[in-house]
Structure 1
Amino acid sequence: MFEFRFGVDDLAATWFAYSPLQETVLSLRARRFAGYYPEQQPWIAGWQSRYETLDTALLASLVTPKAFVPDFLTPRPSSPHPDFAEELAGMAATPPEVARADVLAAYRSDGSPVPPVLAALLDDPSALVARAAGELEAYWVRCLSPTWWPRARSVLEADIAYRGRMLSERGAEGLFADLDFRLSWRAGVLTLNDSNPAVQALGTSVEVAGRGLVLIPTLFGMGAQTDITQVGPPLICYPARGKATMGEGLVAGRPAAAPGPLTALTALIGAPRARLLAMLETPSSTTELAHRLGVTPGAVSRHLGALAAAGLLERARHGRRVLYRRSALGNALVAGGRG
């Protein structure tokens, strides 16, 4: 059990972020534990041939048999929506002795021997950091960033927008209770209680002490989790809402064509706007929609603006990005248009 103890001002300094580097590393869990992540399997099938061009033995070893990950691979985000390249550069600058200690801590907590591909690098941890950074970058470029990440980012941003509303409407106790069943809040103490004996053995009391707790949604967590070592500033990862939508609309591991126009709705508002409205059952950004439709973001943006002005869409801002989702009126119009 982990206890995060808040001072008077610590709750005000709690913030949300997503991490493309963390999602890259944790996505390797979906290969090892396929049954827990069915929504990710069509994506994995789609990029399998590209994945096989990588150092798959090294990538697989970055997740232990019981799903632990060395802490240095998933550093705390420095901003609410960091860039993958800047996060990777920070990870690549990890002191070699820290990386070595984190690998040993992960496998010690797991109770499993370090795989040969990692064991061979422990005597030269600088090479370990460089190799891990290089393979993760290649994995990101070849498999994740082209089509997977735009959808994943929209799901994560939608989660954060929702959590912000929960905090304003229900306060800290309501927020943490809604994040995950493992989390509870009482009298300034946030408790993370995991039934896994290996995790329980790591439990400790953490003073937030003005460092700011960061809450990070992930598509690859079965429950709330935190760092193994608790050396750095405090963080908690939790399962993102809507992660099941990652598998929707895929054909042969690739996003399917946008939904066909709805006859009645098309006659009313035109084919491009009817198609967009049909796609926006779950929140999406302009960039993701443009990618899925094969058109420019500018073209999508004009249609989204018109639909929002008509009250058919709701908007939620996350940093510099805006997520769109059908409003109640939009839902009713799409339902009627299917007739």
Structure 2
Amino acid sequence: MVMHKQRSPGRGGPLAVEFSAEDVARTRFAVSPLWEVVAGARVLKGADAQGTHNCWAEQVRPRIAAAGLDLSPLARLLPVPGGVPGFLVPPPTTPQPSLEVELAVLRATPPQELTTTIAEAQPAVAALREEGERGLARLAEVTAAYWEVALAPYWPRVLSLSEGDTLHRARRFAEGGAALLFEDLDPQLSWDTDTLRLTGRCIHGTRRLDGRGLLLVPSAFVWPRVFSTLGSEEWQPTLRYAPRGIGTLWQRRDQPCSDALAGVLGRSRARLLAELGTPASTTELARRTGLSPGGVSQHLTALRAAGLVSAHRTGRVVLYARTRVGEGLVGGRGEW
């Protein structure tokens, strides 16, 4: 049984995680869409006391309601405050798995592994275990539907932030080894010789990685916490942390319509692509740009065929958002 523990400032600690040379060699990074789904659901339940994600939450809550989504199968597994049951978010085995792959792992979880030490979540976990495959299938279905409404339109932005942090950490590791890698990862972390120390935690003592290394997963929705899975025998020990620049993730900045891009795509399509830093419907884009709804629809169809725009249905409304390629064309992450 595994759970993800979150750090709680001023309580317990420190926890010492000892690294061998093999552990350092096997330390790696990954991004997990499933984890972001779960961590985002915790935010919607009130886990974001600092208000970091208010802008995002204010947009997605009405969309979830409009889509008629019942998130209770997922939400009741996530007490706030509290941790996350480990079976719900198994660490990814590849650097960037799709949500479909991660949900397949969740659906295949054996009933005996559906356990948790989180007292508030135990009734929900017990009910899920009793339902077996049917309960896991429903949980995966709800999670996929929630992803489509609440995270898929924003995923290029979130992924860009996580990938940027991973590249930064990789450079630091290349320049100064593990000491430099962990130096600015989180204020609660420090590296001393062959030991990573996590201070201010509810747990303390010493953990050994036993040659499996540490999996580092940047996550947009965990700040200011760090979540870890360090006691599992079946999964690689994992540390989930907030990437650099998290405070700018949801900032809105006007994106000028590039003359160079307009020369390639045409003025109207370049303007629409610039506007899509915020996921929007055809009607909203028509209001912003002064184009007719029919014209907007035709341009979006062309942009989508070129792989620059994606479409996401929310109830009766279809939201359009820039893809990663589209983000790159308008200049980076497309902050808004």
Asked whether the two chains share a fold, i.e. TM above 0.5, the reply is yes
One-letter amino acid of the counterpart of residue 212, structure 2: R
Contact 1:226 1:235 in 2 (8 A): yes
Counterpart for residue 182 of structure 2: 176
Single out whichever of 217-226 and 28-37 deviates more from structure 2.
28-37
Counterpart for residue 236 of structure 1: 239
- Which string of whole-angstrom CA distances, capped at 9 and with x for unpartnered residues, describes residues 40-64 of structure 1? 2222222323423222322321211
Counterpart for residue 212 of structure 1: 213
Taking the TM superposition and a 5 Å limit, the aligned residue runs for 1:216-295 are 216-221=217-222, 222-227=224-229, 229-231=231-233, 232-249=235-252, 259-261=255-257, 266=259, 295=303
One-letter amino acid of the counterpart of residue 207, structure 1: R
Task: Find the aligned partners of 1:164 and 1:297 in 2 and give their Cα distance.
Answer: 34
One-letter amino acid of the counterpart of residue 237, structure 1: R
**Which of 37, 58, 73 lines up with 2:73 in the alignment?**
58
**Which of 131, 147, 153 lines up with 1:140 in the alignment?**
147
In structure 2, runs of 5+ residues without a counterpart are 1-13, 265-275, 281-298, 309-326
Offset of residue 22 of structure 1: 0.6
SS in 1 for 2:191: strand
With over 3 angstroms needed to count, the CA separation of the structure-2 counterparts of 1:204 and 1:92, relative to structure 1, is farther
Counterpart for residue 69 of structure 1: 84
Task: Find the aligned partners of 2:76 and 2:70 in 1 and give their Cα distance.
Answer: 10
With over 3 angstroms needed to count, the CA separation of the structure-2 counterparts of 1:261 and 1:135, relative to structure 1, is closer
Contact 1:182 1:192 in 2 (8 A): yes
- Which string of whole-angstrom CA distances, capped at 9 and with x for unpartnered residues, describes residues 91-114 of structure 1? 111111111x12xx1x23xxx464
Question: Is 2:85 aligned against 1:79?
Answer: no
Task: Find the aligned partners of 1:175 and 1:214 in 2 and give their Cα distance.
Answer: 13
Task: Find the aligned partners of 2:55 and 2:33 in 1 and give their Cα distance.
Answer: 20
TM-score, length-scaled by structure 1: 0.68
- Which string of whole-angstrom CA distances, capped at 9 and with x for unpartnered residues, describes residues 282-309 of structure 1? xxxxxx98x9995369697xxxxxxxxx
Contact 1:213 1:235 in 2 (8 A): yes
Alignment RMSD: 3.5
SS in 2 for 1:18: coil
Task: Find the aligned partners of 2:239 and 2:87 in 1 and give their Cα distance.
Answer: 15
SS in 2 for 1:143: helix
Counterpart for residue 129 of structure 1: 136
Task: Find the aligned partners of 1:324 and 1:180 in 2 and give their Cα distance.
Answer: 32
Q: Percent identity?
A: 30
One-letter amino acid of the counterpart of residue 124, structure 1: E
Single out whichever of 52-61 and 224-233 deviates more from structure 2.
224-233
SS in 2 for 1:27: helix
Contact 2:214 2:237 in 1 (8 A): yes
Task: Find the aligned partners of 2:15 and 2:328 in 1 and give their Cα distance.
Answer: 34
Taking the TM superposition and a 5 Å limit, the aligned residue runs for 1:291-330 are 295=303
Offset of residue 187 of structure 1: 1.9
Contact 2:42 2:80 in 1 (8 A): no
Counterpart for residue 317 of structure 1: none
Larger RCO, structures 1/2 (Cα 8 Å, 6+ apart): 2
How many equivalent residue pairs?
270
In structure 1, runs of 5+ residues without a counterpart are 251-257, 274-287, 301-321, 328-339
Single out whichever of 2-11 and 235-244 deviates more from structure 2.
2-11
TM-score, length-scaled by structure 2: 0.69
Task: Find the aligned partners of 1:153 and 1:174 in 2 and give their Cα distance.
Answer: 23
Offset of residue 245 of structure 1: 2.5
